[in-house]
Amino acid sequence: MLPHDLLDVAFDLANSSKGKPKQAHLRRAVSATYYAMFHTLARCCADLLIGGPGSSRSEEAWNQVYRALDHGFAKGACMNKGVLLKFPKEIQDFANLFVQMQFKREDADYNPNGTVFKSAVLTDISAVKAVIDGFGKAPLKDRRAFTALVMVKQRKTSSKEKPEPSR
């Protein structure tokens, strides 16, 4: 799944009629816009952990990592402001918009009384495109560290206290 293809689909859905678009089209556009971010992140994780295109990699392992990205876990990691401050702006921007777009997608998919506006969808599509492009330009070491953040449960480091001497 190519992220920019999903953004093209979202744009087409938002502009699917001459007049006011159907809510169903706008809701699907919101979903496709979020999934452009999700698939960007899944591809990044698989490429950086297993190997990118042209590398000697196991396709089965690559697919396993790609599919292992969990929406909720990734969102939780992206909400960890203390850790995110250690990353460059491109990754912070990606993480912040990832969280916002996940909330918007959930609302569009599950709130039967919600209303989605074409102007908001088009703004989101542009913002997501810019953030995806910026994310791809972030330093490799930072994207790799971000991959670890969104895929691997963090454990507290144990203190290296010396044991009390026997009395």
Total number of domains in the chain: 1
Q: What whole-number distance in Å separates Cα of residue 127 and Cα of residue 106?
A: 18
Residue 167 has pLDDT above 50, yes or no: no
Tens digit of pLDDT for each residue in 7-65? Answer: 999 999 999 988 889 999 999 999 999 999 999 999 999 999 999 888 999 999 999 99
Contact between 92 and 142 under an 8 Å Cβ cutoff? The reply is: no
Q: What whole-number distance in Å separates Cα of residue 144 and Cα of residue 110?
A: 33
Residue 116 is assigned to a structural domain of this protein: yes
Mean pLDDT of 113-127: 97
Residue 162 is assigned to a structural domain of this protein: no
DSSP assignment of 66-79, as one string?
Answer: HHH--HHHHHHHHT
Domain that holds residue 45: 5-12+23-151
pLDDT value at residue 163: 52
Residue 95 is assigned to a structural domain of this protein: yes
Residue 30 is assigned to a structural domain of this protein: yes
Residue 163 is assigned to a structural domain of this protein: no
- The C-alpha angle with vertex 47 and arms to 45 and 52, in degrees rounded to 5, equals 170
Residue 34 is assigned to a structural domain of this protein: yes
Contact between 116 and 23 under an 8 Å Cβ cutoff? The reply is: yes
- Percent of the chain whose pLDDT exceeds 90: 85
Residue 164 is assigned to a structural domain of this protein: no
Residue 147 has pLDDT above 90, yes or no: yes
Q: Could you give the residue ranges of the DSSP H alpha helices within 87-139?
A: 89-110, 118-137
Neighbouring CB atoms inside 10 A of 47's CB total: 19
Residue 166 is assigned to a structural domain of this protein: no
Whole-structure pTM value: 0.90
